[in-house]
């Protein structure tokens, strides 16, 4: 038990997939894991543990934004010993050459501010993905038949952002997409010597204002889960 996770000791696998939405955790566990069982439902943040191809895996919601993710990832790492943490989520494209439905593997994550930021004082830490996971995900994504981009994302806790100039600077500097969690995930993994990566689907486009139709969301989400699992356990 930890403050926000009621799982028994040992009930969380070393490999954890982190969708923002707890109902996505349930959907992915039912669809991809064998013998999935509910291990946490405190505050409705569902977590399931089962196996994929014989490998123990937990799929646990992170909530939206870095403050929420920070709580779950801190406890998953410090109280439950999670070693490999892979976010699976959506993002908004910030480049013309990135399309809705494309997959983004987040190599780095810029941020205007994360829960960890204050500890770095005058320095700017560069949160980055684990290379082995990134490489394995890039290989796994070749089979998905959809465009895949590897590069930087922008993590912001403000979905309804009143500062479009910040997005403009990110676009100008080649950042592929905006989302709300990856910078803190990568920073926590670095601090604790764990492996982390984010696999993201482009659900909307900040420049063209196109959005992923509801009927395509399930397929896109499946692609991400498959890439994440194959990256965690390369054959």
The catalytic residues are: 204
What is the nearest approach in angstroms of ligand HPA to the Cβ of residue 100? 10
Beta carbon nearer to ligand HPA, 15 or 62: 62
Q: Which of 40, 58, 90, 114 binds ligand HPA (CB under 6 A)?
A: 90
Reduce the secondary structure of the chain to three states and give it as a string: CCCCCCCCCCCCCCEEEEECCHHHHHHHHHHHCEEEEEEECHHHCCEEEEEECCEEEEEECCCCCHHHHHHHHHHHHHCCCCCEEEEEEEEEECCCCCCCCCEEEEEEEEECCCCCHHHHCCCCCCCECCHHHHHHHHHHHHHHCCCEEEEEEEECCCCCCCCHHHHHHHHHCCCCEEECCHHHHHHHHHHHCCEEEEEEEEEEECCCCCECCHHHHHHHHHHHHHHHHHHHCCC
Q: Which is nearer to ligand HPA, 36 or 103 (CB)?
A: 103
The stretch among 40-48, 84-92, 95-103, 127-135 that binds ligand HPA (CB under 6 A) is: 84-92
Between 92 and 127, name the residue whose CB sits nearer to ligand HPA.
92
From the list 75, 157, 179, 184, which residue makes contact with ligand HPA (rule: CB under 6 A)?
179
Q: Which of residues 142-161 bind ligand HPA (CB under 6 A)?
A: 159
Regarding 131 and contact with ligand HPA (CB under 6 A), the answer is: no
Identify which of residues 21 and 179 has a Cβ nearer to ligand HPA in the complex: 179
Of the candidate residues 171, 203, 220, 223, the single one contacting ligand HPA (CB under 6 A): 203
Which residues of the shown chain bind ligand HPA in the complex (CB under 6 A)? Answer: 90-92, 159, 178-180, 203-204
């Amino acid at each position: 038990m930890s403050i926000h996770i009621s799982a028994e000791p040992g009930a969380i696998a070393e490999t954890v997939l982190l969708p923002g939405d707890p109902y996505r955790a349930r959907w992915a566990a039912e669809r991809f894991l064998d013998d999935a069982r509910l291990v946490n439902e405190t505050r409705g943040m569902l977590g399931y543990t089962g196996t994929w191809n014989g490998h123990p895996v937990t799929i646990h919601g992170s909530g939206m934004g870095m403050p929420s993710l920070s709580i779950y990832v801190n406890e998953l790492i410090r109280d439950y010993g999670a070693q490999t943490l892979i976010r699976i989520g959506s993002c908004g494209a910030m480049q013309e050459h990135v399309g809705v439905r494309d997959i983004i593997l987040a190599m780095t994550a810029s941020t205007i501010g994360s829960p960890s930021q204050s500890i770095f004082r005058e320095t700017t830490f560069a949160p980055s993905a684990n290379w082995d996971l990134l490489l394995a995900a890039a290989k796994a994504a070749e089979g998905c038949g959809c465009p895949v981009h590897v590069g930087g994302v922008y993590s912001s806790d403000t979905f309804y952002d009143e500062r479009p100039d910040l997005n403009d600077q990110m676009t100008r500097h080649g950042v592929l997409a905006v989302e709300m969690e990856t910078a803190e995930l990568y920073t926590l993994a670095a601090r604790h010597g764990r492996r982390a990566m984010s696999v993201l689907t482009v659900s909307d486009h900040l420049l063209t204002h196109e959005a992923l139709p509801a009927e395509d969301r399930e397929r896109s989400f499946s692609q991400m889960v498959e890439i994440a699992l194959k990256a965690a356990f390369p054959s």
